[in-house]
Amino acid sequence: MDQTDTKTSKFLSYVLRHQPESIGLTLDSEGWADIGTLIKCASQHGKRLNHSLIEKIVEINDKKRFAISADQKRIRAVQGHSTQKVDICYQEKIPPAILYHGTATRFLDSIVKQGLVAGTRHYVHLSADESTAIKVGQRHGKVIILKIEARLMYEQGFKFHQADNGVWLTKTVPVAYMSIISRS
């Protein structure tokens, strides 16, 4: 991704996950926005978008954060929302035995006290493999990887979902279900 693509991806993440109202955009409860309206609202706020650029960003985004509807008229972020206006109805899914969470060491004291909590987002994000968890954690500083006993959690009543991009989602991970497996 070049610098323009990165800026566009970050802009789309911001308006489709966190602050659609910052450009006058409205999302439906499943997070969908009309692409034409998105382009118009972005333009009114100094951001130039067009349908082909949006399609390109959806296609090349390495985290597959966005989806375009089958009719090519709507776009949404597939997970990671903090706006309370969006509540995607993910299907409950049985997780693998182990999932991973990458974060920064500076958050470890808080995690050890209260477990993993969604914070401003709707869900805790978990990865199916360590390498993805490492990439996620690197965005926040010195990395620590937590191993999550996801299947045990599920068997004890915790709900799991999987977003279209493969990210596993749950509301919370109590300390009893996690262990530190690496520090970088």
pLDDT tens column, 15-67: 999 999 999 999 999 999 999 999 999 999 999 999 999 999 999 988 889 99
The pLDDT value recorded for residue 138 is: 87
The pLDDT value recorded for residue 85 is: 87
The tokens describing 59, both together, are 């296609």
Beta carbons within 8 Å of 25's beta carbon, 6+ residues apart: 15, 33, 37, 38, 41
Among all chains, which residue has been given the structure tokens 């993993």? 116
Closest CA to 133 of 116, 109, 114: 116
Between the alpha carbon of residue 149 and those of residues 79, 115, 128, 158, 173, the distances in Å are: 22, 13, 12, 11, 9
The pLDDT value recorded for residue 184 is: 53
∠ CA(46), CA(48), CA(54), 5° rounding? 140
Residues of the chain short of pLDDT 50, as ranges, are none
Q: What is the pTM of this model?
A: 0.79
